[in-house]
Chains A and B, each alone.
Chain A
Amino acid sequence: MTFSTMLLTMGEGMLLTILLFALTLIGSMPLGMVVMFMEKSRIKPIAWLTKVYIAIMRGTPLMLQLLVWRFGPYYLFGISIGSAKLPALLIGFILNYAAYFAEIYRSGMDSMPVGQYEAAGILGYTKIQTFFKIILPQVIKRVLPSVTNEVITLVKDTSLASVLAYAEVFSIAKQISASQTSFIPFVIAGVFYFVANFIVAFIMERIEKSMQYYK
């Protein structure tokens, strides 16, 4: 296998990695917000169930969760599954990352002093206005570093999709390494992850800077 064929084959894997990464992010960041509100819900059963959900998502390996989403329908209900892997992967990744994002958002929300709510109330803001105009912008600012951490972890976690033989870059690196008895594919994969995360970190830093409008 020539080096260019290797790069080309791995390039296809990189595209699949990026696809999984992007769809997971698009799904889990808003869902995390919903989960956070459910966790803070005043209806106790909802809050408890959400806590259980978060406990399971954080307390079991993501690799195991992916296997459950892919093969669970068959083992639990006897439903024959097709060969499409992306749905199971997306459900697994989005539900898992939503749990982490929910906790990050909650840390931001809980850090807001009660006085701000009281002041907003006195000034005549409704609850919804208070949240969107006063609280949320500050929360976003505060949670950004933690979110960056999580997003970088996600880039690397996409390699867990290899357990379902999703042809992302790390699976392909392993396969080429086996058939060519070479370590080069792993080096290429390493460089790819590093560059991808460098870009993520760069973009997040720009966003952080753009939010420092009081400094």
Chain B
Amino acid sequence: MKKFICGILAISSIALLLSGCSAKPDAPASSDAATEARDFGEGMVFKHGFDLDYPPYSHLDDNGEVGGFDVELAQAVCDYYGWKYEAVPFNWDAKDAELNAGSCDCIWSGFTRNGREDDYCWSIDYSDNTQMILVPADSDIKTLADLSGKVVGVQTATSAYDLLQDEEGQKPLCDTFASLEVFETYTIAFTALKSGAIDAIAIDVTTGQFLMNGEEGYAFLDEVLGSEQYAIGFRKGDTELRDKVNEALTALVEDGTYAEIGEKYPDIKDFLCLKPSSEQ
């Protein structure tokens, strides 16, 4: 009897927990958490949410400080309005919870817009990105078709991974692989490639170039796996803040700040897609 009652109690408390959780996502309330009336004047705190594992967009720099292209650009946006910049590093897997719960104002960390159009309130695209296949230069893999029967590595929860799992994307190609190995980070995947445990890596071109810095004997295939755009994701309905940031971005492109920050990151500067109106 005792055990029976314990069981009932346990099950009902779990059910309570679950029902509480499932009641959430569709609620429009999700946007009011931190979107109440704000003045966008000087001194407003801008909470920049990003993943510190994503060089060169957001990472720990050589001095052990928070840095990267996105961080510097966000700081420039804050300087433009006189906002107070607050860095909110998060775990990539928990990004939506962080955004919805209001611990940050946006996800701005090499964040792919394509395929997520309806899930966030998007800024203008500020960077292009391409997914490529990274192989040892002496590999017999020369085209995407050669990947048939090979072991390919990818980092979990990245756009390259999503692309390989998407029926309308490269899932058909992925099905020809001997297997797709999903790694925690690309650093580990690259080590696996070096040691011969895998034959190729599916990766964003910018991240791939970053990995190949100072490494001899690795190259991208000429064929492109997919392409996409990076933008800043705000909470749905938070158009006010989005418009403000868009305005600042446009101004920073015009006055050259955007290109200036880009110069510091040679791996990605060719992919920065915003141009001042004089060059268009």
The answer to whether A71 and B101 touch across the interface, beta carbons within 8 angstroms, is: yes
With contacts A49-B9, A181-B187 taken as known, whether A175 is within 8 angstroms of B59 at the C-beta atoms is yes
Residues of B within 8 A of A202 (CB): none
The answer to whether B94 and A163 touch across the interface, beta carbons within 8 angstroms, is: yes
In the complex, B262 has a CB within 8 A of chain A: no
Residues of B within 8 A of A175 (CB): 52-53, 59-60
In the complex, B114 has a CB within 8 A of chain A: no
The answer to whether A179 and B60 touch across the interface, beta carbons within 8 angstroms, is: yes
Per-residue A-contact encoding for B91-119, CB less than 8 Å = 1, 0 else = 10110011011111000000000000000
Report the minimal beta-carbon distance from B201 to chain A, rounded to whole angstroms. 13
Per-residue A-contact encoding for B50-64, CB less than 8 Å = 1, 0 else = 001111100111111
In the complex, A95 has a CB within 8 A of chain B: no
Complex-state Cα separation, A73 to B100, whole angstroms: 12
Please tell me the number of chain A residues within 8 Å of chain B, measured between CB atoms. Answer: 43
Complex-state Cα separation, A182 to B91, whole angstroms: 20
Residues of B within 8 A of A49 (CB): 9
In the complex, B143 has a CB within 8 A of chain A: no
Contact count band on B: 35 or more
The answer to whether B21 and A74 touch across the interface, beta carbons within 8 angstroms, is: no
Residues of B within 8 A of A9 (CB): 60, 64
By beta carbon, the residue of chain B nearest A162 is B91
Mostly helix, strand, loop or mixed at chain A's interface?
A: helix
With contacts A67-B97, A78-B29, A82-B103 taken as known, whether A178 is within 8 angstroms of B54 at the C-beta atoms is yes
In the complex, A128 has a CB within 8 A of chain B: no
Complex-state Cα separation, A38 to B211, whole angstroms: 55
What are 29 pairs between A and B in contact, CB < 8 Å?
Answer: A5-B63, A5-B64, A9-B60, A12-B64, A48-B2, A48-B5, A52-B9, A52-B10, A56-B14, A70-B101, A71-B94, A71-B98, A71-B101, A74-B101, A75-B20, A75-B101, A80-B34, A83-B47, A83-B88, A164-B94, A167-B89, A175-B52, A176-B60, A178-B52, A178-B53, A178-B187, A179-B56, A181-B214, A182-B187
Known: A9-B64, A165-B90. 16 other contacts (CB 8 A): A1-B62, A5-B62, A8-B64, A48-B5, A52-B9, A56-B14, A71-B94, A71-B98, A76-B21, A83-B103, A164-B90, A165-B52, A175-B60, A178-B186, A179-B60, A183-B187
